[in-house]
């Protein structure tokens, strides 16, 4: 039994020794390193930037009341088309008691004055016919009578405006009727029947009753970083894509670059605006998220290599040229001068020719 045990230990030690030897042998063998090979070729390189923004109407107008009150009726809803001067809503006036009292007093006083002027006029008319008074005195009484009559009409009109918001002499232009100021589409009506509204003045912006926009004229609005704003200018071509409509790309032209930046998340952003050439078959909605591609620079038919093949040392840039591939890859270091890059490929300006093969990323790595 003891001999068997000894033999088993001997075999186990032999297995461990041989395994260790094979492991160390494999580790001591040199690893053949292989690299992906890229070929220098001619291509077009385009440097562009992507700006995130949204679609907005070029002309968007907030419709506000001309008088304070309560929304009595709504004749339109969001999504309806309207013409200029078409009525959107009606306001019921809640008169100011002080103004109402003053207007009523004005009517009372004007009626008293009118009655007196009327009596004076009738008396002067009889006396004039009897040739007791001169024509000049009669004419003065007639003018006073007519002025008093006009004042009664004006006072009643003013009372009606204060009380109901409607002019008796020009009911069509009533301030209680809220009208669209442009032709377009109603984007939003943020009020409901019964809501209080106020008119715009020097102390208040007023209540927005409706937002109307011309949806046939749209623009792209976004923000660009300060590191790239110096490379763009008005009239540069823009390609705009809308996330909500797959496959849609529209042409545009840069119209506006803000002269002042706004800090956002620690970086200065500059607002830009671009026109949009909208196809007739496409309907866009205000607020759609969109991306604008602006081409900053472009070169055609230039020698280029993938950026993954470049290596750097200080201010120097170099590549490794493939000189042999059998039995293993061999390379020669060569310094180059580079030009425009699109983030994937980069232009090579010197010391490289079309068809040269350069070293790329390592395919196998030593464990």
Look at residue 170 in the predicted model and tell me its pLDDT. Answer: 58
| Residue 78 pLDDT > 80 | yes
User: Which two tokens mark 126?
Assistant: 């009889």
Indicate the pLDDT class of residue 367, thresholds 50, 70 and 90.
Answer: very low
Q: Which region among 5-14, 49-58, 97-106, 111-120 has the lowest average model confidence (pLDDT)?
A: 5-14
Look at residue 327 in the predicted model and tell me its pLDDT. Answer: 81
Indicate the pLDDT class of residue 260, thresholds 50, 70 and 90.
Answer: very high
Question: What DSSP string runs through 134-190?
Answer: -HHHHHHHHHHHHHHHHHHHHHHHHHHHHHHS--SS-GGG-TTEEE-SSSEEEEE--
Look at residue 318 in the predicted model and tell me its pLDDT. Answer: 93
Look at residue 165 in the predicted model and tell me its pLDDT. Answer: 63
| Residue 6 pLDDT > 80 | no
Indicate the pLDDT class of residue 7, thresholds 50, 70 and 90.
Answer: low
Look at residue 135 in the predicted model and tell me its pLDDT. Answer: 85
Please write the tens of the pLDDT for every residue from 313-365. Answer: 888 999 999 998 888 889 999 999 999 998 899 999 999 999 999 999 888 65
Compute the distance between CA of residue 285 and CA of residue 56 in angstroms, rounded to an integer: 8
Q: Average pLDDT for residues 190-218, to the nearest whole number?
A: 90
164 vs 105, higher pLDDT: 105
What percentage of the chain reaches a pLDDT higher than 70? 86
Q: Which region among 103-112, 274-283, 298-307 has the lowest average model confidence (pLDDT)?
A: 103-112
Own/partner pairs for 347-350, CB < 8 Å, 24+ apart?
347/45, 347/299, 347/302, 347/303, 347/304, 348/40, 348/303, 348/304, 348/305
| Residue 25 pLDDT > 60 | no
For the chain, give the mean pLDDT. 86
Displacement of CA 218 from its chain's centroid (Å): 10
Closest among 32, 33, 35 to 306, alpha carbons compared: 35
Indicate the pLDDT class of residue 3, thresholds 50, 70 and 90.
Answer: low
Q: Are 280 and 288 in contact (CB under 8 A)?
A: no
Indicate the pLDDT class of residue 183, thresholds 50, 70 and 90.
Answer: very high
What percentage of the chain reaches a pLDDT higher than 90? 49
Look at residue 264 in the predicted model and tell me its pLDDT. Answer: 83
Question: What DSSP string runs through 26-61?
Answer: HHHSPP---EEEEE-EEEEEEEEEEEEEEEEESSEE
The secondary structure of residue 94, as a DSSP letter, is: -
Q: Average pLDDT for residues 107-135, to the nearest whole number?
A: 86
Look at residue 31 in the predicted model and tell me its pLDDT. Answer: 64
């Amino acid at each position: 039994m003891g001999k068997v045990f000894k033999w088993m230990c001997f075999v186990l030690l032999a297995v461990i020794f041989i395994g260790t030897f094979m492991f160390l042998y494999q580790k001591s063998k040199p690893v053949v390193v292989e690299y992906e090979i890229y070929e220098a070729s001619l291509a077009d390189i385009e440097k562009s930037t992507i700006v995130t923004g949204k679609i907005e109407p070029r002309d968007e107008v907030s419709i506000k009341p001309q008088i304070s009150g309560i929304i009595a009726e709504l004749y339109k809803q969001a999504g309806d088309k309207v013409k200029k001067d078409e009525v959107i809503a009606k306001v019921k006036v809640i008169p100011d008691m002080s103004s109402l009292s003053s207007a009523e007093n004005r009517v009372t006083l004007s009626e008293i004055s009118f009655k007196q002027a009327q009596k004076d006029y009738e008396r002067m008319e009889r006396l004039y016919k009897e040739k007791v008074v001169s024509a000049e005195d009669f004419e003065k009484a007639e003018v006073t009578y007519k002025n008093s009559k006009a004042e009664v009409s004006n006072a009643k009109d003013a009372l009606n405006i204060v009380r109901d918001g409607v002019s008796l002499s020009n009911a069509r232009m009533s301030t209680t009727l809220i009208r669209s100021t442009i032709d377009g589409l109603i984007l939003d009506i943020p009020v409901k029947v019964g809501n209080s509204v106020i008119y715009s003045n020097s102390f208040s912006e007023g209540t927005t009753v409706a937002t109307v926009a011309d949806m046939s004229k749209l623009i792209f609005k976004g923000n660009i970083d300060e590191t790239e704003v110096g490379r763009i200018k008005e009239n540069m071509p823009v390609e705009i894509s809308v996330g909500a409509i797959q496959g849609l790309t529209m042409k545009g032209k840069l119209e506006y670059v803000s002269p002042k930046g706004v800090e956002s998340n620690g970086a200065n952003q500059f607002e830009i605006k671009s026109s949009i050439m909208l196809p007739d078959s496409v309907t866009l909605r205000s607020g759609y998220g969109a991306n604008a591609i602006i081409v900053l620079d472009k070169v055609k038919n230039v020698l280029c290599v993938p950026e993954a093949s470049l290596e750097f040392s200080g201010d120097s840039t170099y590549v490794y040229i493939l000189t042999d591939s059998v039995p293993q890859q061999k390379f020669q270091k060569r310094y180059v001068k580079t030009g425009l890059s699109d983030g994937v490929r980069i232009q090579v300006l010197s010391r490289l020719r079309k068809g040269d093969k350069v070293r790329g990323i390592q395919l196998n790595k030593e464990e």
